[in-house]
Structure 1
Amino acid sequence: MPKRVLQGTVVSDANEKTIVVRVERRFTHPLLKKTVRRSKKYHAHDEANVAKVGDVVWIEECAPISKNKRWTLVPQA
């Protein structure tokens, strides 16, 4: 089964080898028929500490690394 891949913006890089990524999703409200924006923050593993605040990155689902980290940074080509 393929791993999920999400795109988001780095909101924190204060921790060693960890980044916090805000992923925004948009959907149409079923009753109001209005586009609604919802966001969620994910902790992701950044082995080389390359991502900085404000960067747009891709994260990929992985096996649990710590209590909160279940995602890893996808290396950019």
Structure 2
Amino acid sequence: MTNEKLKRTLSGRVTSNKMNKTVTVLVERRLKHPLYGKFITRSKKYHAHDDSNQFSIGDFVQIVECKPLSKTKSWMVTKLLTDESNT
């Protein structure tokens, strides 16, 4: 067993790629309301590092937690799950 801690991974849609080497990823999760039982969609935006500026708006990507790279950026894009041209 390795000593390395497992890193959190999330998947979401790229909503902005206007920054240099950074994309904004919208991650949505569904949870059940504790009293009424209705499913609610909660969303959060993360800034993720995109070293080669290859991801465009609408791409569905996977991001992984990493050391803080700037004030707001501590996630890194690992792979493209689906791109916007296929949807």
Which TM class, normalised by the smaller chain length? Answer: over 0.9
Q: Could you tell me which of 33, 42, 49 is aligned with 1:45?
A: 49
| Letter matched to residue 57 of structure 1 | V
* Structure 1 residue runs without a partner (length 5+): none
Looking at structure 2, the residues matched to 61 and 24 of structure 1 have their Cα atoms a distance apart, in angstroms, of: 17
Report the equivalent of 2:20.
Answer: 16
Summarize deviations over 1:37-71 as a string: whole Å, max 9, x none.
00000000000101100000000000000000000
Instruction: Name the % identity.
Output: 49
Where 1:41 maps in the other structure, the secondary structure is strand
| Letter matched to residue 79 of structure 2 | P
Where 1:48 maps in the other structure, the secondary structure is coil
State which structure, 1 or 2, has the greater radius of gyration over its C-alpha atoms: 2
TM-score, with normalisation over the residues of structure 2?
0.85
Question: Runs (4+) of structure 1 moved beyond 3 Å?
Answer: none
Looking at structure 2, the residues matched to 22 and 13 of structure 1 have their Cα atoms a distance apart, in angstroms, of: 12
Count of aligned pairs: 77
